[in-house]
Every structure is written in structure tokens, then in C-alpha cells.
Structure 1
Amino acid sequence: MAYDAAAERTVRSLVAAPPPRVAWPDAAKAVCILLVVLGHVTYLHVEESRWYAAAGAPPLWDLLDVVLRPVRMPLFFAVSGFFAARALTRPWRASVRGRVGQNLYLHVLWMLVGFGVALAVGIPTFMAPEHASGLPGAALTASTGLWYLYALAVYFVLARATRSWPAPVPTALAAALAVASFSGVLPGSGDTHSVLENLVWFLAGARFPEQVRRLSRRPRPLALLAVVVVLVAVLGAVRVLDLSRVPAAVLEIPTRAGAVVAGMLLAVLFVTWFPRAASPLLRLGRRTLPVYALHGLVLIVVQRPLAAVTEPLFGALPHPAQLLLVLVYPLVLTLAIAWCCLAAQTLAQRVGAGWLFALPTRRRSPALLVPPA
């Protein structure tokens, strides 16, 4: 039989090619980061927009925040853990730079950038402490809004260090840590507590990837409906019963677990049934870092100019029109800020400032690039 070099190359490329990227996690990450931005827009932009505050932020935003709080960051971390599952099997040297060093570098870098920008515009930001004396402590304790980057580094180290343990053991310990944090018995700021409370979801995604794959293999609309009904019933019962701190803290874990499952099922259903509508979300889901790192800075930079422009435009409108605007305006602003963040990353990469979004690599000496004789 004649040797077919082209066929052999094709076979080798198929064998060496990584498996195709699963779509639903990118859609889930995109929705989560947009919810993060939306939350900061609705609660921080009010301070400088008198017309927005006078119109009265509708109860919808408060209700949306309460309903989505159990899924927003837990689902984000569950997806991050799911993506990190394969890296846990590699040697430390092969993963520590990208999974640990880069996230710690970005955490400190963007905290310093945030501090400088806040100082320049005269508006405090959740991305950095107000005073320079607080920078070292914030870098070590993740007490700013950039805690997600810090948490990713710490979570990966813990997951990698406990990879030989049976998967339920570190996950259960992380759940107990989260309950202790929810109970208020541990010291620290709100952002530090967020680091303590979300380890369980990263470990769930990283240590149970096969279960996640089986659950997300196909759309399950009836399962999604059942989970949502149970979640609504539980959240309603919790609000009606007004439980004390400890029972409410214990309920946070199963409630958030159900919310994570519901988010996964909804993402799978959406990307399967509406692939064209999901396409922008998939692109955003692969580029959440610039949105997370930059959106707080964009918000404080445009906060006062936007207030100066919108006050004469919207302040004189009838109250019903203002109520409609406070429903639409945050959504438009959220999408605009996300677009600005992505555009800023693209510009940074074109002008050689890619180090703002990735740990710089050491350039090899030209002599090292010469193949050995």
C-alpha cells in the first residue's frame, strides 16, 4: 500500500488536537460577569446621578440582586474550577505560573492601577483601598473588589495540594468554611469573606468534572424547571420564616448549589436552542478578565461626566418616564462599560501593553533560539 504523507499528517493533527471547547461554560461566565457589572452600576452610579436617585431605584434591582446573589459568583467559580480540572493533573511547574503567578500578579497590578485612577479622579473605588497605607494589607488579604483574582490563585493551590484526597473531603471542608463565614464567626471584610465562601464551588467544578459533563451533556428543561421551583420555594420560605443567623448560614450551601445547577442547565439550554443569540455571550465568556479588571475604573471615570450630561436630559422628565429610564439605563450602561473594557484590552495589546492582562514572559536570548548542532 502506498505511503500517504498527507493522510498521516491529518491523523496526527486529529490525535494531537485538544478536544473542542464546551460552549455552555463561556455563556455562563459571560452572564455572570455582566451581572457583576450590573450590580456595581445600579449601586455605585446612583451616588452621582441625582435624577436616578430622585426617581427611586425600582424594587426590581434589589429583588434581582437577592435572587441572583446565590448564582452570580458561585457559578463563576464552579466554571473556573471546571476549566482548571485538567491542570490539577499536571506537575506544579507546568501550571503554577499561569494559574497562580498570573492571578496574583494581576490582583496586585490592578489594585495599584485602581488606587492611582481613584486618586486622580477623586472618587473612591472598590478596587483599591482609599489610602496607600492600606495597599499591603489589601494585597495579602484580598480585601478589595479584585478578590476574585486572588481567590483563583489560592483555590488552585489548595485544589492541587489536595488532589490525592477523595474529592468529597476537601469539598466538604470548604463547605464547612463557607458556613462559618456566613455565620459571621470569622473576622475580615466582606471581600475577604467572599474568598472564604466560594472555595467550595471552585472545588466542586475542579474535583467533579465528569459529573458536570454528564449533567451538561444535553438540555434538561424539566430538570431546570424543577430546580427553579424548589429554589423559589426555599428562598421564599427563608424570607418568611426570618431564620436566625446559623440556620440561614447552613441553608446557604444547598441553596447556592441549586442555583449553580440551575445556572448550568439554563446555559446549556440557551446555547443549544439559541446558538445564534448565544454567539456574543460565547465571545464575551472567553474574555471576562478585562471586564472584571477594568469595569470599576471605567465606572468611576465616567460617573461624574455622565451625571453632568444626564441630569439636564432626564431630570426634567415626568416621573413615569424616569421610572422607565431607571429600568433601562443600567442595562445600557452595563453593556457599554463591558464593550469599553474589551476595546481597552484590544488597544493595549496593539500598543504593546499586553502585560496589563497577562504576566509578562521572559524573552529568550537570541543565542538560546539557535538549534543545537
Structure 2
Amino acid sequence: MTATKPRIDWVDAAKGLTMVLVVMKHATYNDAVALHKMPYLFNILCEFTIPFRMPLFFLVAGLFAARSLRSDLRSFIDGKVLHFVYFYLLWSAIQIGLKMALPHDSEWVVNYKTLLMIPVEPFGILWFIYELSLFFVAMRLMRDLPKALVIGLALALYFTKLHTGWTVPDEFAGRFIFFVIGVYGAPYIFRMAELVRARPLAALGVGAALYLAIGTVVFSGEIEIRTFELSTAFAGAAATLILVVLLVERGLAAPLTYIGSRSLYVFLAFFLPMAATRVLLIKLGVTHGDFLTLLSLAMAVGMPLLAFRIVENTPLSFVFVRPDAFRLKPRGTKEPATAAA
């Protein structure tokens, strides 16, 4: 399996679209709380994308994981453990500190105990990178087990519908299967992308049919059935990948590709411009839910990208780029190719 430029583009576009959907969900629900009413169009879009928004995030994260799972231990710990730990701890402290220092209208109470709990209970949306690191570690430990056994274990965890009240075990059980499929299914997913490029009209029809089926399940309420929930997750992931491949082929995905290649910056910092935009616009009298959400979403995605460009060559770059002092391998170090790659 090779990684040609078009393939990298559509993977980045998929990451970018997923990140936009994640930010959209938070903008929509936070605006609803502030306005005491749910934005109409964005609420429909959020409900429609619930089944596949997070599954696609973890599935795409697994597409290029095979190499790291077979790399030397030092490289693996540096790239897939310390990398996530650094940003998780740093931005947990930043987010909690800002929540404690700044006035806000959220019912989410934070204090010093919240800081002490971050090693075992992730704060806010940062559970994404906490779980992603655990997924890499779990797959590394199970890399020599039969694929069917690992998939079976991941499915068993999913169908337990674990609900302990603790984020780490609950989200691990519910999301691991998608990362596993991303790792093992990568060759087939890349083959699917080739087929989409070769037969765009047929692919468009398949994607539309999948989206229609998802909408039927979601808005009929049948999504609560666990089997349907899993099926719509994979169907939505497939349909969305078809969509981004088609957009890339027609040169319409440049903004998504740009966001996806820098998705970490958006993920870490979107909460602040999103909240600031919401507060400012409401003070200015903007009360239309969909308009408010659209502007909050645009600022939440755009401002972190701008912030990175501003600080990348300054002492403040550590908020987005892990310094060499927190690396086992200096930046730019190339690891030798492996058979698994």
C-alpha cells in the first residue's frame, strides 16, 4: 500500500471534516444553552451526524497506525504516548485554569480537584487524545494476536455498552472497535478510495443511499438499538469518505484538507474563540440560533489556525508544538522503514 499525494489529501480532508463536525456539535449545544432554544438547522445536522462523527475520527486515526505499531519502542513511546500526554496535560491545565479564572455561563463547575483528577478523568473534550493514546498502546500490545480475535474483543467491548460513570473505560469500550477497523481495514479503505475515483457517479449514488439509510434510522428513533448504532457508524464513515474523495478529486476540498493537516491546533484551542464569539454576539443582540452557531463555528475553527501561525516562531509555540525537551527523539528524526510499513 503506497501513500500517494491524492490519498493523503483525502485523508486530511476526512480529518478536517470530522473536526468541523466535532466543533459544530459543541457550538450548537452551547449556543442552545445560552439562547434557551436549539438552533434549528444545526440541531438537525448534529443529530444526523451523531452515529458516525466520532467513529470516523477514530477510524481515520487508525489508517496509518500500522507502521508505528511495528516501530522500535522508543519511537512508539515518543510519538504515540508522550506526544498525547504532553498536549493532554498542558491543555487540561489551560482549559481548567481559564474556566476557574474567567466568568462563564456554564453549569460545569471546576476547581483544584478537577486538576488533580485529570490523570484518571479527562476534562471536557480532551478525552479524545487520552483515548487515542490508549488505543495505540492496546493495539501495540495485541499486534501479534490474530486479527479476528482482536476484532471480536473490540466488538464484545462495544456491545457491553459499558456505563461506569468514568470516561476512560466507558469511551474505550464504545470507541475501540472503530480504531481497530481503521488499522486492519486500511488496505480496503484505500482500495475503496480508488474505486470512488474510478467510478464517481456510482460512488455518489452509494454514498447518497447510505446517508438516506442513516437519516431513516436516526430520525425514526431506531438508533437506540445497538446493532443499528454500529451499522450506521460504519455506513456514515463510508459515505463521508466517499464524499471527501469526490470533493478532493474535483478540487473542492482544499479548506478541509488544510484544516485536517492542522487538526490538532483546532482540537486543542477551539473552545476559547467559540465561547468568546458566542458571548460577544449575544451581547450585540444576535439571537438567531443558526446564524450564531455558524459564526461561532467559523471562529472556533479559524482562530486556532491563525493563532498557530502567530506563535509558531515565538516562545509561545510550545502550546501547539511539543518542545524537544519533552521528546525522546528530536524533531525531524527519521525512523527506518519496516516490513509493516
What TM-score do the two structures reach when normalised by structure 1?
Answer: 0.77
* 2:5 maps to 1:22: no
- Asked which structure has the greater CA Rg, the reply is 1
AA of the residue aligned to 2:181: A
Partner of 1:296: 271
* 2:66 maps to 1:91: no
* 2:165 maps to 1:188: yes
Structure 1 segment 69-80 matched on structure 2, within 5 A: 69-80=50-61
CA distance in structure 2 between the partners assigned to 1:130 and 1:170 by the alignment: 38
**Residues 48 and 218 of structure 2 are in contact (CA less than 8 Å); yes or no, is this contact kept in structure 1?**
no
CA distance in structure 2 between the partners assigned to 1:28 and 1:152 by the alignment: 17
**Residues 147 and 192 of structure 1 are in contact (CA less than 8 Å); yes or no, is this contact kept in structure 2?**
no
CA distance in structure 1 between the partners assigned to 2:4 and 2:245 by the alignment: 18
CA distance in structure 2 between the partners assigned to 1:74 and 1:363 by the alignment: 30
AA of the residue aligned to 1:208: G
CA distance in structure 2 between the partners assigned to 1:217 and 1:79 by the alignment: 16
List alignment gaps of at least 5 residues for structure 2.
328-341
Q: For 1:271, what is the secondary structure of its paired residue? A: helix
* 2:90 maps to 1:115: no
> Could you tell me which of 247, 271, 275 is aligned with 1:270?
247
CA distance in structure 2 between the partners assigned to 1:242 and 1:209 by the alignment: 29
AA of the residue aligned to 2:127: W
Q: Encode CA deviations 1:113-142: one digit per residue, 9 max, x unaligned.
A: 00111122122779x961221223233233
**Residues 291 and 341 of structure 1 are in contact (CA less than 8 Å); yes or no, is this contact kept in structure 2?**
yes
**Residues 48 and 214 of structure 2 are in contact (CA less than 8 Å); yes or no, is this contact kept in structure 1?**
no
**Residues 101 and 359 of structure 1 are in contact (CA less than 8 Å); yes or no, is this contact kept in structure 2?**
no
Report sequence identity in percent: 25
AA of the residue aligned to 1:77: F
AA of the residue aligned to 1:103: F
Q: Encode CA deviations 1:13-55: one digit per residue, 9 max, x unaligned.
A: xxxx98546211111111111111111111113444x4xx4xx
Q: C-alpha displacement at 1:147, in angstroms?
A: 0.7
CA distance in structure 2 between the partners assigned to 1:261 and 1:363 by the alignment: 37
**Residues 86 and 326 of structure 2 are in contact (CA less than 8 Å); yes or no, is this contact kept in structure 1?**
no
Quickly say closer, same or farther: Cα 1:254–1:172, change in 2 above 3 A. farther
Q: For 2:253, what is the secondary structure of its paired residue? A: helix
Quickly say closer, same or farther: Cα 1:60–1:209, change in 2 above 3 A. same
* 2:283 maps to 1:308: yes
Quickly say closer, same or farther: Cα 1:284–1:169, change in 2 above 3 A. same
> Could you tell me which of 85, 89, 112 is aligned with 1:132?
112
**Residues 80 and 133 of structure 2 are in contact (CA less than 8 Å); yes or no, is this contact kept in structure 1?**
yes
Q: CA RMSD in A?
A: 2.8
Q: C-alpha displacement at 1:95, in angstroms?
A: 1.9
Q: For structure 1, which segment, 299-308 or 261-270, has the greater mean C-alpha deviation from structure 2 after superposition? A: 299-308
CA distance in structure 1 between the partners assigned to 2:29 and 2:275 by the alignment: 12
* 2:45 maps to 1:64: yes
AA of the residue aligned to 2:170: H
**Residues 59 and 181 of structure 2 are in contact (CA less than 8 Å); yes or no, is this contact kept in structure 1?**
yes
Quickly say closer, same or farther: Cα 1:363–1:303, change in 2 above 3 A. closer
Q: C-alpha displacement at 1:229, in angstroms?
A: 2.4
Structure 1 segment 46-61 matched on structure 2, within 5 A: 46-48=32-34, 50=35, 53=36, 56-61=37-42
Q: C-alpha displacement at 1:352, in angstroms?
A: 2.1
Structure 1 segment 279-294 matched on structure 2, within 5 A: 279-294=254-269
Structure 1 segment 312-351 matched on structure 2, within 5 A: 314=286, 322=288, 326-351=289-314
CA distance in structure 2 between the partners assigned to 1:241 and 1:295 by the alignment: 31
Q: C-alpha displacement at 1:192, in angstroms?
A: 5.9
Q: For 1:140, what is the secondary structure of its paired residue? A: coil
Quickly say closer, same or farther: Cα 1:192–1:129, change in 2 above 3 A. farther
Quickly say closer, same or farther: Cα 1:44–1:58, change in 2 above 3 A. closer
Q: For 1:306, what is the secondary structure of its paired residue? A: helix
* 2:121 maps to 1:141: yes
Quickly say closer, same or farther: Cα 1:115–1:192, change in 2 above 3 A. farther
Quickly say closer, same or farther: Cα 1:303–1:118, change in 2 above 3 A. farther
Q: C-alpha displacement at 1:143, in angstroms?
A: 5.0
Q: Encode CA deviations 1:139-195: one digit per residue, 9 max, x unaligned.
A: 3233521111101110100111111112232123112212222xxx43125676334
Quickly say closer, same or farther: Cα 1:297–1:171, change in 2 above 3 A. farther
What TM-score do the two structures reach when normalised by structure 2?
Answer: 0.84
CA distance in structure 1 between the partners assigned to 2:15 and 2:214 by the alignment: 25
CA distance in structure 1 between the partners assigned to 2:183 and 2:164 by the alignment: 27
CA distance in structure 1 between the partners assigned to 2:148 and 2:282 by the alignment: 50
Partner of 1:44: 30
CA distance in structure 2 between the partners assigned to 1:73 and 1:41 by the alignment: 16
**Residues 217 and 228 of structure 2 are in contact (CA less than 8 Å); yes or no, is this contact kept in structure 1?**
no
**Residues 24 and 297 of structure 2 are in contact (CA less than 8 Å); yes or no, is this contact kept in structure 1?**
yes
Quickly say closer, same or farther: Cα 1:137–1:362, change in 2 above 3 A. closer
Aligned length: 322
Give every structure 1 segment of 4 or more consecutive aligned residues whose post-TM-superposition deviation is greater than 6 Å: none
Quickly say closer, same or farther: Cα 1:217–1:116, change in 2 above 3 A. same
Q: For 2:125, what is the secondary structure of its paired residue? A: coil
CA distance in structure 2 between the partners assigned to 1:347 and 1:154 by the alignment: 32
